[in-house]
Amino acid sequence: MKTRWFAVLLGMCMLLLATAPVQADGIIIPTPQPCPADGCPPVIPVAQLAIKYHHVDVKIENQIAVTHVDQVFYNPNDWQVEGTYLFPLPLGAVVTRFTLWVDGKPVQGQVLDAAQARQTYENIVRTLRDPALLEYAGRGAVQASIYPIPPKGERRIELEYSQALTVDNGLVRYVYPLNTEKFSVQPLESVRVSISIHSDPPIRTLYSPSHKVEVTRSGENDATATYEASNLIPDQDFALYYSVGESEAFHLFTYRDPGDATEKDGFFMLLLAPPPGMKSETVAKDLLLVLDRSGSMEGEKFSQAQAALRFILKNLNPGDRFYLSSFSSTLQEYAGDLSPAADADSALKWVDGLSALGSTDINRALLEAASVAKSDRPTYLIFLTDGLPTEGEIDRQKILDNFMAAAPANLRLFTFGVGYDVDTLLLDSLAQEHQGKTTYVLPGEALDEALSGFYESISSPVLTNLEIDFGDQSVYDIYPQTLPDLFAGGQIIVTGRYRKGGAFDLSLHGRVNGEEQTLRFTDQNFVDDNHSETGPLSNLPRLWATRKIGALLTQIRLQGPDPESIDQIVRLSIRYGIVTPYTSYLVTEEMPLGAANQRDLADQSLQQLQAMPTQASGAGAVNKAAEEGALSSAPAAPEISGEAAQSVKLAGSRTFVLKEDVWYDTAFDPALMKPQQISFLSTDYFALANARPDVGSALALGQRVVIVVDGQAYEIIDAGQPALAVTLPSPSTPTIVIQQPAQQQITPTPTTPSGSENPPADSPILCTAIALPLLLIVFLASASKRKQ
């Protein structure tokens, strides 16, 4: 049992960035129908339909967003399903009109205010004995009738709405609730969110804290962000932030829940982009290109490496200088020193004449490159190899020491490991000691695309040698620990912790063309209370924990295990549900919660690590190094998937673990906390669910839940069981003002539902909010089996 749970909890060491609870999901509530004898189950679960695909296309034109949702629901049952479609409205939404199509036919709907919707949700929870709707308490809803779905049949539903996006703290925020885990009985075949943005002022920062997106830009005014996945059940809302025009280069996000007794300090994230006007001051750089041409590189790898070098040489900035060499058992140099960018055409011919042959003298290649580096400008060394050192100095530590003594402080080293026969400890140590990073190109991946794409991201430095001064604020556990340089078109994400809330002034120091520059950002604020924030900001704790775990895992791999690091990894992975498939050395007890159990777990893990030799090369070592690197610099956390998704769930900033049919808050310490018991579906139960948005989201996980609120544990027991009087948490004051319209009829707008390029101007869902406004309409579905 220990071994099985040990895998689950280190299973619980990589899945990043927890998600905020869903803010709006469409739900199909079945109408009970007679069915053949023994043809229906006696219990009606809410989630019974499957969602085959969920595609979202968003067009944002100068902060007006039009969202088109396209979903197909499948009825896997042997009986017809029909019922009522409920669409819980997001906080702050004001609906005027919307377009809802079911298989090409428009349907009518009705808007319910928050009180009407809450009563509807609670009635359904009582009737079906399924708490899945509790996370929507406090929200209004749209209600509509749905055509029957025949047995084994499908029903396509398209929803289109508009919203006005407003700017908060210099950023435009778009959020789409994507969480369907409660309403699809199987993973979705396809999930896609595509957002195209046009802005008359130039688009500067573009970032998703929730999902890994592919960003393409076509000029300064247009950009597209796309998220695609398959065979998964989405577990978090999709969020996208962007800034435009002359907005600040600096954005601060904070999150703090003083009701969380286990994490009293706050979390923050900084988003840094090139300051307005600084793009024209692109810093001239020196680029050192060192290519492995040993015999193992022969063939497609070497051809792709040559293609990447050609791309880089053709895209040097006019003021750049370059150094070019290739190595095997001997060293070949294009020139013995730095060359001006004007010589790139001549260097192209030299690259074309290279061939792969010989052994691998890494030490000499690195030292020769370091010898030409100058200290008068930013210097970037791109070092590419596919093998281990086999010629000259082959001792890893001596190679590291030699290069450390030879390289100037302004040199940044970026290593590329190609294939599995590379020394990951050497490459990662080189990159870490010289403020760079390692990219691993696995077999079958395109080396030329990886190298060319990387160079594009560093081609134009604008601010180097960055340091942040937080003034009199106390901050700690900042990741990355050393800030990278800032490049044109790029951005830097910094996460950390803070002790106390309050206003302060922040300074960003750096160098531009050899001159010291200081950017000051006044009137910043670390918040004291985000109790009612259930949107993207509640993701910050998991994002921070993800990066810290990645840094700790890399530290252990490169320097060896120590008790304190192992203890932190165990505690953070359990607390935040960060699952890492490759950290199989972690083992959990039958109940992995509580300080004492976690100390035992850390001791066991340390002993196992000390008994295991560190692997420097091979498929396992390379995959492990790549995974850890992705964790430590993660912009967002991946979805919880696979077996872990059955036993680890997220609700706002909280993580829950399933044990013996009970969902336990990972902040729960069974040795120190005595839960107050509340009967399922009792008056106290619904009062607890309505106390705060994150509590309702937690109770929506199932009928048996243990949750910690303000340091007090509450246990939901079976309905009808006697329970003592309880002290409920006091409701928090909402940080987002809810504006709900009076009850009204919604008339479908006569327009073509699918493939419409220009949605009608008179069919918007208009979202107006006072703080962090958003109108997100999501349609995720479910249905239920019929009562007999």
Predicted local confidence at residue 650, as pLDDT:
84
Residue with tokens 């703090």: 256
Exposure class string for 515-544: b at 16+ Cβ within 10 A, else e: eebebebeebebbeebbbbbbbbbbbbbbb
Residue 708 in this model has a pLDDT that exceeds 50: yes
Predicted local confidence at residue 201, as pLDDT:
85
DSSP E strands: which ranges in 21-76? Answer: 27-30, 50-61, 64-74
Sheet strands side by side (includes 105-106): 105-106, 99-102, 154-164, 64-74, 50-61, 190-198, 222-229, 214-217
Residue 58 in this model has a pLDDT that exceeds 50: yes
DSSP E strands: which ranges in 434-583? Answer: 438-441, 461-469, 475-479, 486-487, 492-498, 502-512, 515-526
* 360 and 388 Cβ atoms separated by less than 8 Å: yes
Question: pLDDT tens digit string along 467-485?
Answer: 999 998 999 999 999 999 9
Architecture of the domain defined by 258-280+464-528: Sandwich (2.60)
Q: How many helices (H) and strands (E) are present in the chain, helices listed first?
A: 15, 38
* 275 and 519 Cβ atoms separated by less than 8 Å: yes
Residue 307's pLDDT band (cuts 50, 70, 90): very high
Q: Which of 198, 232, 225 is nearest to 211 (CA)?
A: 225
Largest Cα separation within the chain, whole Å, is 87
Paired tokens of 298: 């022969």
* 157 and 779 Cβ atoms separated by less than 8 Å: yes
Predicted local confidence at residue 752, as pLDDT:
44
Predicted local confidence at residue 140, as pLDDT:
77
Supply the mean pLDDT for the chain.
79
Instruction: Give the integer Cα–Cα distance in Å for 585 and 582.
Output: 8
Residue 15 in this model has a pLDDT that exceeds 60: no
Residue 613's pLDDT band (cuts 50, 70, 90): confident
Residue 285's pLDDT band (cuts 50, 70, 90): very high
Exposure class string for 733-756: b at 16+ Cβ within 10 A, else e: ebbbebbbeeeeebebbeeebeee
Report which of residues 452 and 744 the model is more confident about.
452
Residues β-bridged to residue 498: 266, 475
Residue 495 in this model has a pLDDT that exceeds 90: yes
Predicted local confidence at residue 417, as pLDDT:
93
Poorest-confidence range of 29-43, 361-375, 698-712?
29-43
Give the pTM: 0.79
Per the omega criterion (within 30 degrees of 0), is the bond before 734 cis? no
Residue 261's pLDDT band (cuts 50, 70, 90): low
Instruction: Give the integer Cα–Cα distance in Å for 297 and 357.
Output: 8
Predicted local confidence at residue 395, as pLDDT:
95
Report which of residues 325 and 180 the model is more confident about.
325
Q: What percent of the chain has pLDDT over 90?
A: 34
* 203 and 222 Cβ atoms separated by less than 8 Å: yes
* 51 and 145 Cβ atoms separated by less than 8 Å: no
Please provide the CATH number assigned to the domain covering 284-459: 3.40.50.410
Boundaries of every domain in the chain: 258-280+464-528, 284-459, 644-717
* 719 and 28 Cβ atoms separated by less than 8 Å: no
Instruction: Give the integer Cα–Cα distance in Å for 651 and 643.
Output: 18
Predicted local confidence at residue 535, as pLDDT:
59
* 438 and 431 Cβ atoms separated by less than 8 Å: yes
Predicted local confidence at residue 77, as pLDDT:
82
Instruction: Give the integer Cα–Cα distance in Å for 180 and 177.
Output: 9
Instruction: Give the integer Cα–Cα distance in Å for 701 and 426.
Output: 45
Residue 734 in this model has a pLDDT that exceeds 80: no
Predicted local confidence at residue 182, as pLDDT:
63
Provide the phi-psi class of 710: left if phi over 0, else alpha when psi is between -120 and 50, else beta.
Answer: left
Paired tokens of 304: 């792709």
- Of the spans 584-593, 697-706, 777-786, which averages the highest pLDDT? 697-706
* 543 and 495 Cβ atoms separated by less than 8 Å: yes
* Radius of gyration for the chain, computed over Cα atoms and rounded to the nearest angstrom: 28
Residue 187's pLDDT band (cuts 50, 70, 90): confident
* 165 and 64 Cβ atoms separated by less than 8 Å: yes
DSSP string, 140-154: -EEEEEEEEE-TT-E
Predicted local confidence at residue 5, as pLDDT:
37
Instruction: Give the integer Cα–Cα distance in Å for 293 and 302.
Output: 7
Report which of residues 509 and 113 the model is more confident about.
509
Alpha helices in 357-462 (DSSP H): 362-372, 396-406, 424-433, 447-458
Residue 743 in this model has a pLDDT that exceeds 50: no
Instruction: Give the integer Cα–Cα distance in Å for 124 and 784.
Output: 12
Instruction: Give the integer Cα–Cα distance in Å for 284 and 331.
Output: 27
Predicted local confidence at residue 175, as pLDDT:
82
What is the sign of the dihedral through the CA atoms of 620, 627, 608 and 397?
A: positive
Mean pLDDT of all residues in 559-569? 91
Question: pLDDT tens digit string along 409-431?
Answer: 999 999 999 999 999 999 999 99
Q: Which helix (H) or strand (E) holds 266?
A: strand 266-272
Mean pLDDT of all residues in 252-267? 77
Mean pLDDT of all residues in 655-670? 90
Q: Which of 373, 354, 337 is nearest to 292 (CA)?
A: 354
Paired tokens of 619: 């498929």
